[in-house]
């Protein structure tokens, strides 16, 4: 004579299944092995400073330089670059300032929005 298997209430079965954590979306760009540039922009005394939001495709150095020369930033204060695949981040403010100073020398014109930035950070 065999023993009957005890019945377990449906609640027990539902609550004791394997639980797995959902994977949160990453804030790291999909193209992991690339340098990303962020700009701290000063909007004046009333609004203060903020890290500017930008499209992922526009976070590269060439696009950043172009946007700075086009006057798309109010008054840049600091620029930080990072590469999560290579595991580094650094302040590139002076490097970008020097590059903008060279672009100014080549073009002969500078947007008012970056004139102080170039004066403060060009080597």
Q: Is the pLDDT of residue 10 over 90?
A: no
Give 34-48 pLDDT, tens digit per residue: 899 999 999 999 999
Q: What percent of the chain has pLDDT over 70?
A: 73
Triad 123, 93, 77: Cα angle to 5° = 115
Asked whether 69 and 96 are in contact (CB, 8 A), the reply is: no
Give 45-86 pLDDT, tens digit per residue: 999 999 999 888 899 999 999 999 999 998 999 999 999 989
What average pLDDT does this structure show over 82-99? Answer: 94
DSSP 3-state of 53:
coil
Burial pattern 36-47, b for ≥16 Cβ within 10 A else e, equals bbbbbbbeeeee
Residue 93: per-residue pLDDT: 96
The model carries a pTM of: 0.70
Enumerate the domain spans of the chain. Answer: 32-121
Name the more confident of 81 and 1.
Answer: 81
């Amino acid at each position: 004579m065999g023993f009957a298997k005890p019945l377990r209430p449906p609640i027990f079965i539902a609550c004791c299944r394997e639980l797995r954590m959902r994977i949160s979306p990453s804030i790291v760009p999909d193209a992991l092995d690339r340098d990303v540039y962020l700009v701290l922009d000063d909007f004046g005394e009333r609004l203060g400073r903020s890290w500017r939001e930008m499209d992922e495709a526009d976070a590269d150095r060439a696009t950043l330089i172009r946007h700075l020369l086009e006057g798309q930033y109010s008054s840049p204060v600091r620029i930080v670059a990072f590469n999560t695949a290579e595991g580094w981040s650094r302040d590139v403010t002076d490097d970008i300032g020097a590059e903008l100073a060279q672009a100014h020398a080549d073009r002969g014109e500078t947007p008012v929005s970056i004139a102080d930035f170039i004066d403060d950070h060009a080597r």
